[in-house]
Amino acid sequence: MHKVLSAAVDSNLLSSESFIDECCQNNLDYSTTYDQKIYDFRAPPSKHLAVICCMDARLDVFRMLGLKPGEAHIIRNGGGRIRDAVRSLICSQTLLQTKEVMIIHHTDCGFTYFSSNEQVLAALKLQPGTNTGEVSLFKTLTGQTNPNDVPDFQPIKDLEQSVRDDLLEYKQYPMLNQNVTVRGFLYDTKTGILKEIK
């Protein structure tokens, strides 16, 4: 928890120079060797795999799984939770024919630093420009909001259990293909090894 709150405060001390400018320059360098053939035709991922994993910037999912561009859909969100991935995964399965799903959570995940939604909201209040007032943070699929809803940031208390919870939650979405292989894993950030969770 302390690491996350410190990071929230430290972000306010950053210089006014934007790293986005550096990224744009890097893009110009990239474009000089860019091979457009990968976009010559629209195709589903060649391995028909969708991977749901955390947005943690330290995770190099392609190298971790030995994937190449064009082989899999990588759907990332905070904690690698199925709930936040549903819309993208429906499109992946329906429009682009993915037939296997890997759900990957990892050790040293930022979502393990919080034990409750209240702690997340407390950290949000430290961020200038954020409002934790009366407006509901999350809309339903129909676009309705309920100001009395308590947002669920899905803090993780037990990593293996969070994977099991997501495997069970997958089954709660009838628009997701229930006839495909869905497996859950825990990635150890100290060893680089995936452990399957059943």
Calculate the alpha carbon distances from 11 to 5, 29, 50, 176 in Å: 10, 28, 33, 38
**pTM (two decimals):** 0.78
* Nearest alpha-carbon partner for 189 in 126, 115, 108: 108
CATH of residue 117's domain is 3.40.1050.10
The set of residues, in sequence order, having a beta carbon less than 8 Å from that of 20 and lying 6+ positions away, is none
Q: Would residue 84 count as lying in a domain?
A: yes
**Total number of domains constituting the chain:** 1
In which domain, by residue range, is 73 found? 2-11+38-197
Task: Quote the tokens at residue 2.
Answer: 């302390």
Is 32 contained in some domain? no
How far apart CA 11 and CA 124 sit, in angstroms, is: 12
Give binding residues for Zn(2+) as ranges: 54, 56, 106, 109
Query: 186 is written with which tokens?
Result: 């825990």
**Is residue 16 included in any domain, yes or no?**
no
Q: Would you state the pLDDT for residue 9?
A: 47
| Beta strand extents in the chain (DSSP E only) | 49-54, 72-77, 100-106, 181-188, 193-197
Q: Tell me, yes or no, whether 17 lies in a domain.
A: no
Cα 187 to the chain's mean position, in Å?
Answer: 14
CA-to-CA distance for 80 and 104, rounded, in angstroms?
6
Residue 50 lies in a domain: yes
- What are the binding residues? 54, 56, 106, 109
Q: Tell me if 168 is assigned to some domain.
A: yes
Q: Is residue 128 part of a domain?
A: yes
Q: Is residue 24 part of a domain?
A: no
In tens digits, what is the pLDDT along the chain, a chain of 198 residues? 555 555 554 554 455 689 999 999 999 999 999 888 877 767 889 999 999 999 999 999 999 999 998 899 999 998 999 999 999 999 999 999 999 999 999 999 877 777 776 766 666 666 777 666 654 555 544 455 555 566 777 778 899 999 999 999 999 999 999 999 999 999 999 999 999 999
